[in-house]
Amino acid sequence: MQEFPKNFFWGASTASHQIEGGTLNDWSEWEKENAVRLAGEAELKFGYLESWPQIKGEAMNPSNYISGRACDFYNRFEEDLELAKSLNHNAFRFSIEWSRIEPERGKFDEKEIARYKRIVDSLRKKGMEPFVTLWHWTIPLWVRDQGGWESKKTADDFGEFSQKMAESFGGKVRFWITLNEPEIYSNASYLKGCWPPQKKNIFAYLKVFNNLAKAHKNVYDLIKKNDPQAQIGIAKHNIYFEAYQNKFGNRLMKKAADWWWNFRFLDKIKNKLDFIGLNYYFYSLIDEGFGKNRNQAVSDMGWELRPEGIRHALKELKNYNKPIIITENGLADRDDKHRSWFILETLKNIQKAIAQGVDVRGYLHWSLLDNFEWDKGFWPRFGLVEVDYKTMERKIRPSARLYARICKENKII
Ligand code: IFM
């Protein structure tokens, strides 16, 4: 097998609310109000899954839906980064929890900033490249109370917070991800209404979508002013839509879906973007309707496992002419039945895309640790490393060891 490009980034991705524990933000408050409801709905939502007999104990228990101390990464980051290093990772993506840094408007908590600086320093000492996400879905309570992302003020406030971060890290961070999956968030929170603040309103949705784009562009300028060398991108969740048999109607539907899901946000911000972070999870077959997938292999969450989709998703981003870093890709697989195969097949397809001229610079698996999967809680297990939530013990899964060998050799073995 051929090698990946020189200096390829290998590692894993995480997000503050999902691993740190002890956060106080719009999500932590929403969890408390909704845990009992979510546990009550679990059988209806997940009862059909193959994994149901294994997950039902957790999924029907309200405490599953409270992020609480999560993986306690807040206190254990040093040992977790050491673990990542021992697995030959040379990069690590984490997010800064806005609500910790600025619990009240304009009042920055220097102690918390210092803690994130320690994470960056620790990564640098280990020879690992930090990829810093500035917003991964959670907002401070005062931002929630002023109307969240529906309010124009929020984009300005986010700018101030981001500028403070850029100044604080003083050139030690090269890669910044302003926003994580803005379209998934605006859809789930403002159209489907299943995430906080649970609205179902197309006007609110459009406002949020546009405010997020504005926020990105503003932060791009602010960070660049502070450090012209900084590389700024977003983590974009793209789906590969396949038009079955290339039929005309299917092609038309693909075009609409691509615009809605994949390219609309990128088109708004493409002039202020140094790289594209691709979060890839879904392949959707269009055959006179969406999602006509065969579902031959699925994850514990019932998501179809079609690793070849990533090759197409990458090729479809080629027109933007930007370097691409896979900022997320992974699966919920508690018994580690599919993960090794999935990683291998995914990487083979990334290599094919590279051979076809796509400029891919890195692969960050989701996720380093099992973690808190938002409105599903703790039962989905995405970690290369298993977490025992009672003892907080970490256990390296076999797939993580296989991945570690690939990271070391810079090629598929
Ligand atoms: O856990 C999430 C992450 O926060 C955003 N991207 C998808 C992951 C898996 O659902």
Give the single-character DSSP code of 235: E
Gyration radius of the chain's alpha carbons: 20
Is the residue at 2 inside a domain? no
Ligand 1 — pocket residues by CB below 6 A?
15, 18, 181, 279, 328, 366, 373
State the pTM of this model.
0.98
pLDDT of residue 104: 98
Pocket test for ligand 1, best of 16, 373, 375, 376 (most atoms within 8 A of CB): 373
Task: Look up the CATH number of the domain holding residue 25.
Answer: 3.20.20.80
Number of domains in the chain: 1
Please answer whether residues 183 and 265 qualify as being in contact, where contact means their C-beta atoms are separated by less than 8 angstroms: yes
Give the number of the atom of ligand 1 that is nearest the alpha carbon of residue 281: 7
DSSP β-bridge partners for residue 129: 91
Q: How far is the CA of 228 from the centre of ligand 1 (A)?
A: 30
Please, is 246 exposed, middle or buried when counting C-beta atoms within 10 Å of its C-beta (0-12, 13-18, 19+)? exposed
In DSSP notation, 16-39 reads HHHHS----SHHHHHHHHHHHHHH
Token pair, residue 294, equals 């065969």
pLDDT digits (tens, 9 = 90+) for 171-200: 899 999 999 999 999 999 999 999 999 999
Task: Please give the Cα distance from 292 to 315 (Å, whole number).
Answer: 22
Is the residue at 223 inside a domain? yes
Range of the domain at 56: 9-409
Mean pLDDT of the chain: 98
Is the residue at 84 inside a domain? yes
How long, in residues, is the chain?
A: 413
**pLDDT for 80 beyond 80:** yes
Is the residue at 3 inside a domain? no
pLDDT digits (tens, 9 = 90+) for 262-280: 999 999 999 999 999 999 9
Give the closest residue (by CA) to ligand 1 atom 10: 373
In DSSP notation, 91-127 reads EEEEE--HHHH-SBTTB--HHHHHHHHHHHHHHHHTT
Q: How far is the CA of 372 from the centre of ligand 1 (A)?
A: 9
Give the closest residue (by CA) to ligand 1 atom 9: 373
Task: Please give the Cα distance from 74 to 389 (Å, whole number).
Answer: 14
Task: Please give the Cα distance from 74 to 64 (Å, whole number).
Answer: 19
Q: What is the mean pLDDT of residues 6-21?
A: 99
pLDDT digits (tens, 9 = 90+) for 363-411: 999 999 999 999 999 999 999 999 999 999 999 999 999 999 999 999 9
pLDDT digits (tens, 9 = 90+) for 275-306: 999 999 999 999 999 999 999 899 999 999 99
Give CB contacts under 8 A, 24+ apart, made by 255-264: 257/284, 257/286, 257/290, 258/316, 261/183, 261/237, 262/236, 262/238, 262/316, 264/183
**pLDDT for 1 beyond 70:** no
Give the number of the atom of ligand 1 that is nearest the alpha carbon of residue 373: 1
pLDDT of residue 196: 98
pLDDT digits (tens, 9 = 90+) for 51-69: 999 999 999 999 999 999 9
Is the residue at 4 inside a domain? no
Please answer whether residues 58 and 52 qualify as being in contact, where contact means their C-beta atoms are separated by less than 8 angstroms: no
Is the residue at 402 inside a domain? yes
DSSP β-bridge partners for residue 275: 233
Angle between helices 309-316 and 339-355 (to 10 degrees): 40
Give the number of the atom of ligand 1 that is nearest the alpha carbon of residue 332: 9
